[in-house]
A and B are shown apart, each in its own frame.
Chain A
Amino acid sequence: MPDAGIHPKGEVSLPDLFQKLRQDIGENVGAIGCFVGVVRGFSEDGERVKFLRYQSSDDAVKKLEQIATDIEKRPNIWRVMIHHVVDQIAPGEDAIYVLVAGRRRDDVFRALPELMNRVKAEVPIWKKEVTEQREYWVHELAEKR
């Protein structure tokens, strides 16, 4: 059963996820890798960010579960956890937690960027960046470049 979810702010934390992962860890696990996505204080254009506002569709959890399941099927990967906060998030606050437990560090280090690349490309979540000067959906900024 994949361990993935969409949460409002405050419902999920890295220590809680890490503790859960460690509780029933198998003897074949030799490495645990973790990625935490954090909201930056400055935009790509150097504007001070007030907050990001995330939005998701009903299918987002299902997609996160699918990605976690795909990676868990690999040899030497024992467990994947993906938990995304969908809310209004201020600079310095966490937006996403990805944890991977595997046999060796190479297995884990390989899985983490692939997981995040798939999350960013496939999961129906959108974010609006609100700076001190303006606000925009992130794809709109990319479109203008």
Chain B
Amino acid sequence: MVSALGVTVKFFANFREAVGQEQVEVAAAMDIAALLDELVRRFGEKMTEQLYELGSKKLRETVNVLVNGHGINFLSGLDTKLKDGDVVAIFPPVSGGG
């Protein structure tokens, strides 16, 4: 379900475990950096550990962030702007198959 106002954030794998929810709604996040700050504020150290390299604000290489299905690496990275109704997905590298 997409929020009428704000951004929907969907979590998968280790991120879902860390927050204990499949998705949350976040209002008034201007860009991805602000959104991640809000997630850290809500979920604390466990979210920081999953998102960032130790002692820095650099995203871990295993973190994928998509906005409406598009990777932020192909948008504007942490500066990618957000608008109401956007859906953000956060997940680690995929590992399907046998």
B97 touches A119 (CB 8 A): yes
Shortest beta-carbon distance, A86 to chain B, in Å? 8
Check if B91 is an interface residue, CB within 8 A of chain A.
yes
Sorting the interface of chain A by its residue count into under 10, 10 to 19, 20 to 34 or 35 or more gives 20 to 34
Check if B69 is an interface residue, CB within 8 A of chain A.
yes
Q: Is the interface of B mostly helix, strand, loop or mixed?
A: loop
In the complex with contacts A59-B69, A128-B13, A138-B95 CB distance below 8 A = yes
A126 touches B13 (CB 8 A): yes
Shortest beta-carbon distance, A144 to chain B, in Å? 11
Check if A11 is an interface residue, CB within 8 A of chain B.
no
A 117-145 binary contact with B (CB < 8 Å = 1; else 0) = 00111111111100000000111101100
Check if A57 is an interface residue, CB within 8 A of chain B.
yes
Check if B10 is an interface residue, CB within 8 A of chain A.
yes
List residues 64-98 of chain B with CB under 8 A from any CB of chain A. 69, 89, 91-98
Check if A38 is an interface residue, CB within 8 A of chain B.
yes
Residues of A within 8 A of B10 (CB): 57
Shortest beta-carbon distance, A12 to chain B, in Å? 14
12 pairs of residues in contact across A and B, judged by CB atoms under 8 Å: A37-B97, A56-B96, A120-B94, A124-B91, A126-B12, A126-B92, A126-B96, A128-B13, A137-B95, A139-B13, A140-B92, A143-B62
